[in-house]
Amino acid sequence: TASAMAMIRHILLASLSVLAVSAFTPSTLSAYNLGLSLRSRSTSLRPSTGRIVMKSGGSCPISFFSKLGGDGEKDKPKVSLFSKSAGGDGEKEKTKDVPSMQQTYMQGPMTTGSHGPLSETELAEAKAELDAILAKGFRAPVRSFMDDPKTKWRFGEAPNYDLANLLFLKGKTKNHAEGSLEQIVEDLVKTWEMEASHKTDVNQWETITEDWTIGANGWKMFGKEESASVGNYNTLSWGVDKEVWDTSMSWDETHDVMHEAFPAFPWEVLEVFSGPPRVMFSWRHWAHFTGEYKGNKGQGQLVEMYGMGLAEVSEDLKLKTVEIFYKPEEFFAVLEGKKEASEIAGGKSLVGPGCPFIK
pLDDT digits (tens, 9 = 90+) for 175-234: 999 999 999 999 999 999 999 999 999 999 999 999 999 999 999 999 999 999 999 999
Instruction: Give the contacts of 201 (CB within 8 A, at least 6 positions apart).
Output: 151, 152
Alpha carbon distance 199, 233 (integer Å): 16
Q: What is the DSSP letter of 138?
A: -
Instruction: Identify residue 123 by its one-letter amino acid code.
Output: L
pTM: 0.75
User: For residue range 257-295, what is the model confidence (pLDDT) as tens digits?
Assistant: 999 999 999 999 999 999 999 999 999 999 999 999 999
Average pLDDT in the chain: 79
Q: Label the pairing between strands 267-272 and 222-223.
A: unpaired
Alpha carbon distance 28, 21 (integer Å): 9
Can you give the pLDDT at residue 12?
38
Mean pLDDT in residue range 86-93: 45
Where residue 70 falls (left for φ over 0; alpha for ψ -120 to 50; beta otherwise) is: left
Choose among 161, 17, 186: nearest CA to 85.
161
Contact by Cβ (8 Å): 292, 183? no
CA of 107: how far to CAs of 98, 116, 125, 252, 266, in Å? 9, 6, 16, 14, 13
pLDDT at residue 354 greater than cutoff 90 = no
Can you give the pLDDT at residue 199?
97
Instruction: Give the contacts of 16 (CB within 8 A, at least 6 positions apart).
Output: none
Q: What residues are paired with 206 via a beta bridge? A: none
336 or 41, higher pLDDT: 336
Q: Other CB atoms closer than 10 Å to residue 137's CB: what's the count?
A: 10
Mean pLDDT in residue range 116-125: 93
Mean pLDDT in residue range 238-244: 96
Q: Other CB atoms closer than 10 Å to residue 269's CB: what's the count?
A: 25
pLDDT at residue 33 greater than cutoff 50 = no
Can you give the pLDDT at residue 115?
84
* Radius of gyration for the chain, computed over Cα atoms and rounded to the nearest angstrom: 20
Choose among 284, 241, 291: nearest CA to 266.
284
User: For residue range 121-178, what is the model confidence (pLDDT) as tens digits?
Assistant: 999 999 999 999 999 999 999 999 999 999 999 999 999 999 999 999 999 999 999 9
Contact by Cβ (8 Å): 138, 169? yes
Mean pLDDT in residue range 49-60: 37
Instruction: Give the contacts of 8 (CB within 8 A, at least 6 positions apart).
Output: none
Q: How confident is the model at residue 356 (pLDDT cuts 50, 70, 90)?
A: low
Can you give the pLDDT at residue 352?
74
Low-confidence winner among 63-72, 117-126, 234-243 (lowest mean pLDDT): 63-72
